[in-house]
Amino acid sequence: MNVALVLSGGNGTRVGVEPPKQYRIIAGKPVIVHTLEQFQTCGGIDFVIAVASPEWKPRILEWRNVYHLTKLREVAPAGPDRQQSILNGLLAARPFMGENPGGVVVQEAVRPLTSQTLLLNLIQGLDEAPCVMPALPVTDTIYKSGDGKWVDGLLNRALLYAGQAPEAFHYQMYLKLCLETPEEELSAMSGSSQLPHSRGWKVKLIPGELDNFKITYPSDLEICEKKLSKGGAT
């Protein structure tokens, strides 16, 4: 049994529009609905938990009915940061997961172009590792600078990869790890895989996708709308 968490707690300040970017209408639907539909059609996902600010819960549940998102079981409250939101989602999934083994796919609501192929590759990767992350090789030259004004050194880009979401984990192990981690340390983690990696978990990399980008700036909304209008990811 596999669950997907769709994180939707951000306020979209860099896009500079209201409502937050994950609730903007593009290609005829809210961004989050496009993302939820990824999992609705994914045979490897059994149910979905959205994690959002409480004021958006009624609207998300309304969209569940309008767009027939039958896999969406609950809307958990967003926490003060990403990892606390993930923990809230994991806890909301527990009544449905019980003690069953299985995976959890942690997705961001603002990645509506993730393909079915990538989702299935993530889930299949859990057969080999407890933590799986899509990544792209870094193609630009990367410099280090302590003050942002002067170059201190150069990194070997052949060894560097840009991580993407969604990421996949063994559900029971990941929930236990998050529950056992002190709140201050948990909140300091910037990526979903950072905590398990810090505890010695093997993190498997699979090929990411260029189209699987996170909507961050106004131009990203326009690009996503054009791609979704043409059929989106496959």
| Residue 17: per-residue pLDDT | 56
User: Is residue 58 scored above 60 in pLDDT?
Assistant: yes
Helix (H) or strand (E) holding 206: strand 203-207
For residues 76-86, give the mean pLDDT: 96
Q: For the packed helices 57-66 and 31-40, what is the interaxial angle rounded to 10 degrees?
A: 50
User: Is residue 13 scored above 70 in pLDDT?
Assistant: no
Average pLDDT, the chain: 94
* pLDDT band at residue 234 under the 50/70/90 scheme: low
| Residue 11: per-residue pLDDT | 67
**Letter string b/e over residues 145-161, b meaning 16 or more CB atoms within 10 A of that residue's CB:** eeeeeeeeeeeeeeeee
User: Is residue 190 scored above 90 in pLDDT?
Assistant: no
| Residue 231: per-residue pLDDT | 80
What distance in Å separates the CA atoms of residue 106 and residue 49, rounded to the nearest whole number?
10
Query: Strand, coil or helix: what is 137?
Result: strand
| Residue 191: per-residue pLDDT | 87
* pLDDT band at residue 183 under the 50/70/90 scheme: very high
User: Is residue 200 scored above 70 in pLDDT?
Assistant: yes
CB atoms within 10 A of CB 169: 30
For residues 4-25, give the mean pLDDT: 80
Residue at 67: amino acid letter: Y
| Residue 198: per-residue pLDDT | 95
Residues 128-181: tens digit of each pLDDT: 999 999 999 999 999 999 999 999 999 999 999 999 999 999 999 999 999 999
